[in-house]
Every structure is written in C-alpha cells, then in structure tokens.
Structure 1
Amino acid sequence: MNYQPSLNDLKAFACIAARQSFRKAADDLALAPSTLSHVIRSLEENLGVRLFHRTTRSVALTEAGEQLLARLQPLLRDLDFALEEVNSFRSKPSGVLRINTSEIAISMLLDDVVPAFLAQYPEMSLDLVSDGRLVDIVAEGFDAGLRLGESVPQDMIAVRFGGETRFLAVASPDYFDRHKPPQSPDDLKHHHCIRHRMPSGKLYQWEFERHGQEVRIDVPGALTLDHPGMMVKAALAGLGIAYVPLFLVADALDTGRLVNVLDDWCPTIPGLHLYYPGHRHVPKGLRAFIDEMKAHMKKTG
C-alpha cells in the first residue's frame, strides 16, 4: 500500500480513541467536529478499513482500530519524548502541559501556582481539565494528574501539594436548632443528609473510622448532588448534613456558619498529590510546574 497517512491524521485518530467522542476530541484538537469527521472518513477510505463503530450516542474502536491504536500509541509517545528532549536544550520550557484533576483542585491552583507559573514561563501553556472521574492519564494523553493521595495509582510518582486533609460532617447552626446533633455515625440514619452521587452514578457511602473501627453508612436524604461545592452550599442553606473535605468548609467553620459533628470519627487522610508515570521521561514543563508547587507550599507553610 502506497498510502501514508499524515501525522496529524494519526494523532486525530488516537485522540478520538482516547476521548471516545468526536466532539470532545474536536475540542482538544481545536477543530470543528465536521472537519474531524471528514479527516477520519478519509483515513478509513484510504486504509480500506473501518476504524470506529459510530452511533448517535457512542464511539468505539473496531478490531482494526484497536490494532492500529496499539501499534500507534508507543510511536506517538516516543515522538513526544524525542521532541521533549530537543526542548530541554532551550533555556526555558515551552509547549503545552496537560493536567487532569478536579474542579476544586483547579480552583486552588488558580489562587497562586498557575499565575506564578505562567508569569515565569511565558512560552508554556496549561491545559487543566476538570473531571469528576479518575482517568488513566497515560491513555488519555495527560502529562500528570492531581488528586487526593488515596486515589493516586500505586505505579505513579506522587508529589504532595498541601498537607493532609479530612472529610467532615457539617451542617448549619439552624439545622441543629431543629435536629439533635448525631453522636455516632449510626445516628445519621435519622437525619437529613446531603448525598453525593459519584461520576459512576453510584451514591457515595460515608466512611468513618475511630480507634481502628471502620464504618460505612448509606445515608438517607432527600437531596442528592454531584458536586462538593454545591453540597457545601446546601449545608449552609440548612438543608441537612454534608460530608465534604475540610478545605471546602474551613472558612465557614471559622465564622460559625457551619458546625462540625462526629469529629472523632473523621481521621486525617493524604491531601492532594500531583502524580505522573515513573517510566516516562518527565517533560521540562512538568518539572517546572512541580518546582512552582513546591515554592508555593514553602511560602504558605
């Protein structure tokens, strides 16, 4: 076969496979969805095989597509490494750094780390993707992830960002004027709890621990939300008890707008960690970002 697809066409194919969506891949590649669709149709026609099964709701690789992706991914990674090695000869890093994390973590980064990083490295661009689900950062083309330490895959190198944290059960003083505060996790069964729906669609069971005793509670409640920030807002409105990270409610606890209960059942857990694969060459831009994070932690104590 004389046909040789372009590198951009192959990258487009790999991006669609990673995102499992033409629309999301088009956004990543800064292309119109119709343009991307035309690229893949041309690629399939020239190769003489179908690479994707398409419906109005989903995109999935065919057997030929899976085989092409398996061969292509190592080549694209090697190309990225080669370009990064060349980039290392520059006096300052340049290019795009892609990090997958949560909306809350992005908000924390925007307070100080991101402005300082972009000011110091004007040839770098940051692509921060907020995602409620824990993704495979390698398969989906990210340089790093940023999650709570307990969620970081064991085969990753992790760098701490901030100290330990806790999940706390909190509600407004008004709520506790109307309801007796719980004395044990089991008492939550008699309260209005603000439940959390996870990205998988499952309801999160509240987890507590004291003196080595672990308790998981499938709490009751008329209100279910899928965003911790909205859960805090609902708690402030007196709608019930929320179970959320300490850093989201620290100010409200300090000012008395929220009250903490079951404190001795809420142990500390590892805080946020930036993580990346140890078997890959670390891009110069990622090293610079990690240095900026460490400088921020040293400054804030």
Structure 2
Amino acid sequence: MKKSGLVELHAVAAVAAARSFRAAAAELGLSASALSHAVAAIETRMGVKLFNRTTRSVSLTQAGEQFLGKVGPALKEIEAAMEAATQSRATPAGRLRINTSEGAARGLLMPIVLEFLRRYRDVDVDIVSEGRMVDIVAEGFDIGIRLIDTVPQDMIAIPLTEHERFVVVGSPQYIERHGKPLVPADLTRHACLRLRLPSGTIYRWEFERHGEEIRVDVEGPLTLQDMQLMREAAVGGAGLAYMTERNVAADLAAGRLVTVLEEWTPPFPGLCLYYSGHRHLPPALRAFADLARQMSRKT
C-alpha cells in the first residue's frame, strides 16, 4: 500500500476539526476539490471510510475517530516541531491574511501595513475588508481587526484605538435649510442616509443618554452600502449620516460637516487587532502584532 503523505493526514485532521470541507480548505490554503481528492485518496488506499458526508454535515465514522485518535497527537508534535524551527528564522516570511471592516482598513490599518511591508520584504499581506463578522480561524485568516466588544473571548486582542464614537453629521448647508434635530425622534422629519448591512437589512441608528437606549429606523432618499459614498453624500448635502467620528474627522475639521445630537452619541470601546490564542505565533504574525502595538501607542 502506498504510504500516505502529511498533506493527506492534515486534510483529514482539518476536516474533522472544522466539520466542513470548505472551512478546512480555507484553513489549509487548498481548493475544496483538492481537499476532497486528498481525503478520498487516503480512504481508497486504506480501504475504509473516514467520514460520513451529507449535503449539510460532515462527521467522522467510527473508523475515522479511531484513526484520528492515533494520528492526531503525532500531527500536533510535527506541527510544533516545524513551527519551532520556523521561529529560528531571523526574518519573517510567507503570507499574512487579515480580515477587517472597510472603515478600519481605510483609516487605521494601512499605515501599519505599509510600515510592515517596508520592514519585512519577504512577507505578502492579503487583506479582505468586509462588513460581516467572520470566524478568522475557520476561514483561514491570521489576524482580524474589529470592535473590541465583538471579539471572541478566546482570542488575543491588542487595542488599536482608545475609543470609537458614532456621530450624526450633515453639511452646514443642509443644517441651514432643515435645522438641527434636538432628540432622536426629530430624525423622522429629516432626510437620513440609510446604510444597508451585508445581511441586506437596513441599519437602525443607535443612541444612548443617561442609560436610555434608543434605536431609530430612519427614512431618507438614499440607501448605501459603502461608507465612503455615504460620507460624500453627506458632504454634498443629501442628508444626515450616521458614521464613526474617525471616518469624518477631516471633514469636521474643515467645516464640510457638522455634528448634531452630540449628547446622544457617547464613546464606546474601540478597535483592536486580534488572533487565535491557541496557536504558536509564526514570525510574520508576531512581527505584525508587535508593530501594531508600537504604532497604536504613538496615536
């Protein structure tokens, strides 16, 4: 019988852990078809079925559980030995995959990435910016950047900002024509720029004052899914927008936008960089985390 390679053994372990061929393929950096072929190949050579597969689920067979119970510890020892050897490299290398929100990528992440690439020329950085929250481990990312309150507790988190704050903004021309809303209920008489979430639902504006929390389903002539377009529409006088203060700081400083309902938009815990606390850190990830920590202290 032809001997099975480490790729096939890792494929079996990854599918068993993720209970999904798609998620396991992303973690290993393989296509779903390549992963499926690797598992099928080892099953054929062994003459035993390792997984029960349906259109909705993947689970180990009894033979698969017994096999993985013996192979799994050995694979972990091999991985630990390889990572320990990799740590000895003087210069980080390889690929670093980062998942982030679009706003964080545009205003906060890029200065860190550019400095990182300047220092470590043997590392490629792959950034995916999207609105939805993802399981960075299951989907093959090394690092995530999100609001601290949304990060799972088993992750290592490095704060990047002291706090964040959403603000309601409009152009001076819009405010002059329509007046300032004094309480959130006044928004029903204003043109509001609505935000469509990745799920397709319309975001409800959130307010808080003295422990009172309010969410408002705003109405308006324009619905957008891109925060940059929303900023441009607000500057152009199309209506009021609900955005992070960081994303409109330059417009506020220049007088292109002004804030309203300030008492109803208190600050909250800000953005952080996070990564799995259940793995040895590759040199590239460690170097990026250290740089992010250094640069966030300077801001």
TM-score (norm 1): 0.79
- Call closer, same or farther: CA 1:80–1:216 in 2, change over 3 Å: farther
Is it true that 1:215 corresponds to 2:214 in the alignment? yes
Question: How far 1:294 sits from its partner (Å)?
Answer: 2.4
CA distance in 1, matches of 2:192, 2:252: 18
What's the offset of the Cα at 1:20?
4.2
**Alpha-carbon distance between aligned partners in 2 of 1:77 and 1:103, rounded to the nearest angstrom:** 35
1:123 deviates by 2.3
| Letter in structure 2 aligned against 1:113 | I
Match of 1:283 in 2: 282
The answer to which of 245-254 and 9-18 deviates more is 9-18
Task: Rate the CA distance shift 1:61–1:210 in 2: closer, same or farther, 3 A.
Answer: same
Please tell me whether residue 47 in structure 1 is matched to residue 55 in structure 2. Answer: no
Matched, 1:268 2:267: yes
Counterpart amino acid of residue 124 in structure 2: S
Q: State the partner residue of 2:136.
A: 137
Offset, 1:38: 6.6
1:190 paired with 2:189, answer: yes
Give the CA deviation at 1:17: 7.7
- For residues 256 and 195 of structure 2, the distance between their equivalents in structure 1, rounded to whole angstroms, comes to 21
Partners of 1:273 and 1:147 lie apart in 2 by 6
User: Which residue does the alignment assign to 1:86?
Assistant: 85
Question: What displacement does 1:90 show?
Answer: 1.6
Seen in structure 2, the aligned counterparts of structure 1 residues 254 and 203 have a Cα distance that, compared at 3 Å, is same
Q: List per-residue Cα deviations over 1:58-113 (Å, max 9, x = no partner).
A: xx554569x979x6999877765443221111222222222211222222355421
| Alpha-carbon distance change, 4 to 184 in structure 1, aligned in 2, over 3 angstroms | farther
What is residue 124 of structure 1 aligned with on the other side? 123
User: Which structure has the larger Rg over C-alpha atoms?
Assistant: 2
Structure 1: distance between partners of 2:76 and 2:196: 35
Unaligned runs of 5+ in 1: 55-59
C-alpha spacing 1:89/1:96, structure 2 compared with 1 (3 Å): same
Closer, same or farther in 2 for the Cα pair 1:133/1:177, shift >3 Å? same
RMSD: 3.5
Q: CA deviation at 1:37?
A: 3.9
The equivalent of 2:168 in structure 1 is 169
8 Å contact kept, 1:18–1:139:
no
- 1:40 positional shift: 3.5
* Inter-CA distance 41–278: structure 2 relative to 1 (3 Å threshold): closer
SS of residue matched to 1:199: coil
* Count of residue correspondences: 286
Change (3 A) 1:263 1:286: same
Q: Which structure 2 residue ranges, 5 or more long, are not aligned?
A: none
Q: Is the 8 A contact 2:19 2:59 kept in 1?
A: no
- Offset from partner CA, 1:239-260 (integer Å, 9 cap, x none): 2111111111000111111111
CA contact (8 A) 1:5 1:43 kept: no
CA contact 1:84–1:284 (8 Å) conserved in 2: no
The percent identity for this pair of structures is 43
TM-score normalised to structure 2 length = 0.79
Change over 3 Å in CA distance of 1:110–1:100 after alignment to 2: closer
**Cα distance in 2 between the residues matched to 1:233 and 1:68:** 56
Q: Can you list the C-alpha shifts for 1:1-56, whole angstroms capped at 9, x where unaligned?
A: x466654567778599869499x96xx65xxx7xx6477457547736798767xx
2: distance between equivalents of 1:177 and 1:19? 57
The equivalent of 1:243 in structure 2 is 242
Please state how far the C-alpha of 1:297 moved relative to its aligned partner: 2.5
**Is this contact kept in 1: 2:20–2:57, CA < 8 A?**
no
Residues 101, 146 of structure 1: 8 Å contact kept? yes
